[in-house]
Amino acid sequence: MQFLFLRAMKPHVIFLLTSMILFTVGCEGDDHDHDEHTDADGFILEDGSGTEVYREFEGAVEGAVNLSVGDTLELSVHFLDHDGNEIEHEEEEKDELSVSENDSNVAVVEIEEHEEEHHEMAIHVIGVNVGSTSFKLQLMHDGHADYTSTNNVALIVN
């Protein structure tokens, strides 16, 4: 009876040990530096004059993006740490922005391409038709999101 119990447990123990080994050494051989991840708790969107248009911090939201049909609004994106302070973006970091869940019939939201002398993260919002929509913002790093907005960013086109 005792041997049947041990024999039944053997496959489960082997699976558990194999899983633990794979989990602990899974990232050992890659060239990915895990210290490069951005640990953000929110972000702000600022217009060209430096005025804060939208803020999300620890799930709380202030503001909305407003523009008129035919207008293009450039907004810089600044991520916030756990104290609400801006996280400095290093030039050698390979982080990219991603936008999703947007109704392009109301407004188009585009990611600004990085230029050598201009490394700030930014988006362009183009008013297409009167209405409201929203979008989700993500900070991508090596194919996965280091940060995803808790709420969709409200966008109103007049």
Q: 3-class SS at 85?
A: coil
Per-residue pLDDT 10s for the chain (158 aa) are: 555 655 665 666 666 556 666 555 544 444 444 456 678 999 999 999 999 999 999 999 999 999 999 999 999 999 999 999 999 866 556 788 999 999 999 999 999 875 544 557 999 999 999 999 999 999 998 888 989 999 999 999 99
Which pairing describes strands 42-46 and 52-57: parallel, antiparallel, or unpaired? antiparallel
For position 138, what pLDDT does the model report?
Answer: 94
Residue 7 pLDDT: 63
Q: d(Cα 61, Cα 113) in Å, to the nearest integer?
A: 26
Place of tokens 């740490």: 81
CA distances from 89 to 62, 75, 94, 144 (A): 23, 16, 10, 18
Question: Residue 74 corresponds to which tokens in the numbers above?
Answer: 């450039």
Cα gap 45→154, rounded to integer Å: 12
Q: Please identify which residue in the block is written with the tokens 């709380």.
A: 60
C-alpha distances in Å from residue 127, one per residue of 1, 16, 62, 95, 107: 74, 54, 21, 27, 5
